[in-house]
Structures are given as C-alpha cells and as structure tokens.
C-alpha cells in the first residue's frame, strides 16, 4: 500500500508539472540599467513632447506604431503561451520607428531635438544590450503569424503602405505608449520591493497621472 501510494504521488507530481503554465523567460539583469536610464529620460517627456509643440500637434505614424497596453493584452488573449521575448522584440521594432518619425519632424534648432536625439541614443544602447543578452538563435526564431504580420507592416517601404494604414498621434501620446509598454514588458526591472505594481494595467497609469501632471523640478 505504501509503495502504491508513493507511485500515485510521483505520477500526480509529474502530471502536475505538465499541467503547469509555461514559465516566461525572465528579463536579464543586464537589461535593467539601460532601461532605467531610458525611463529617466522618459520622465521628462511632458516638458519636451507637449510644452514645446503647438496645441493639438500630431505626426503621421503607421497604425501599428500606436502600440498600447491594450494591444499587448489582446495579443496575449489571442495567442496562448505567447513568449514575452516575442513581445519584447516587437517593442523594440515599434519604437525605433516611433523615435525616427518624431525626430524627422523637428528642425535642427527645435528645443526638443537634443532631448529626442539623446532618448534615441539611450534606446539604441538598450537595444544593443538586449541583443547581447540573448542567444542569436532565440532572436532569429520564427515569430507567430499575427506578430510576423505586424512586423512586416512596420518594415514595409513607406511608399507601399496603404493610405488607410496611417494614423495621426501626438508626440507625447507616442512616448506615453513607449513608457507604459516598456514597464509592462520589462516589469522585473521596475519592480518595487515595497509595493507590488501592475505595470500592464491601465489603472496603474491612471493613478500615476496626477503625479505626472505635477511641475518638474
């Protein structure tokens, strides 16, 4: 009886392992320093992306470059067992295009150009560490078809993009999306030991809105 009970426990334990949801790859510790540096720059986005532009100013971007927390939620619902690394790769692809488009509309002497150029540099630094932190074969794996479709749309030649795929968004809103999705997809780098934060939840950012509206020192 003891032997039988032990066998049942072992089988049950093994079955439990197979039934557990897949463990997503954690963010390499080396990523946290460049991402926190990037986040420091993003904390000034209101000053440089709103105050230095005309009221209701917008730029033209691809519809896929308006990449929000809701997009991440929908992807996770539609694609079971979606690896976080895939979304992180997509995040870098999306935001390199966003930064290029913001810089492109600024004259050389625009007061926000140095800030945006430095932001792009820090983004590139983070991207470099991201590439170095993962084996090449991981970053070359085929993407799920819905993600690949987005990737193809983002990398399509501008003159071949259908007019219906273009949208208008303010530079500030684009960097808001940039910041929120970064904290969601690389949440381990921004976790607090004191308070558990849900960076992927829209409610978290609504709570922080009042703080964001306070004058910067």
pLDDT for 68 equals 96
What's the rounded mean pLDDT across residues 198-213? 64
What's the rounded mean pLDDT across residues 121-146? 96
Q: Which residue matches tokens 């070359």?
A: 140
pLDDT in tens, 17-42: 333 333 345 688 899 999 999 999 99
pLDDT at 5 exceeding the cut of 80: no
pLDDT for 215 equals 37
pLDDT in tens, 53-103: 999 999 999 999 999 999 999 999 999 889 999 999 999 999 999 999 999
pLDDT at 205 exceeding the cut of 70: no
Tell me the pLDDT of the chain averaged across its residues: 85
What's the rounded mean pLDDT across residues 146-172? 96
pLDDT for 54 equals 95
pLDDT at 117 exceeding the cut of 70: yes
Instruction: Delimit the domains of the chain by residue range.
Output: 27-212
pLDDT at 216 exceeding the cut of 90: no
pLDDT for 168 equals 98
pLDDT for 80 equals 85
pLDDT for 20 equals 37
pLDDT for 100 equals 97
pLDDT in tens, 173-197: 999 999 999 999 999 999 876 666 7
> Would you place residue 10 in the very low, low, confident or very high pLDDT band (cuts 50, 70, 90)?
very low
pLDDT for 194 equals 60
Fold of 27-212: Growth Hormone; Chain: A; (1.20.1250)
């Amino acid at each position: 009886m003891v032997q039988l009970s032990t066998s049942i426990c072992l089988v049950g334990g093994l079955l439990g392992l197979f039934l557990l949801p897949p463990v997503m790859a954690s963010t390499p510790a080396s990523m946290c320093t460049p991402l926190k540096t990037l986040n420091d720059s993003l904390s000034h986005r209101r000053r440089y992306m709103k105050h230095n532009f005309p009221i209701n100013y917008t730029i033209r971007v691809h519809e896929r470059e308006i990449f929000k927390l809701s997009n991440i939620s929908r992807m996770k619902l539609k694609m079971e067992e979606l690896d976080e690394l895939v979304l992180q790769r997509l995040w870098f692809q999306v935001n390199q295009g966003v930064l290029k488009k913001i810089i492109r509309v600024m004259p050389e002497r625009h007061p926000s150009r140095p800030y945006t150029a430095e932001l792009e540099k820090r983004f590139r630094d983070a991207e470099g560490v991201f590439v170095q932190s993962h084996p090449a074969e991981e970053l070359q794996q085929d993407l799920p078809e819905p993600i690949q479709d987005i990737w193809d749309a983002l990398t399509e030649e501008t003159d071949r993009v259908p007019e219906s795929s273009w949208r208008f968004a303010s530079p500030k809103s684009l960097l808001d999306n940039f910041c929120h999705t970064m904290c969601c997809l690389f949440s381990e780098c921004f976790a607090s030991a004191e308070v558990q934060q849900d960076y992927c939840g829209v409610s978290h950012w609504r709570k922080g809105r009042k703080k964001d509206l306070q004058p910067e020192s």
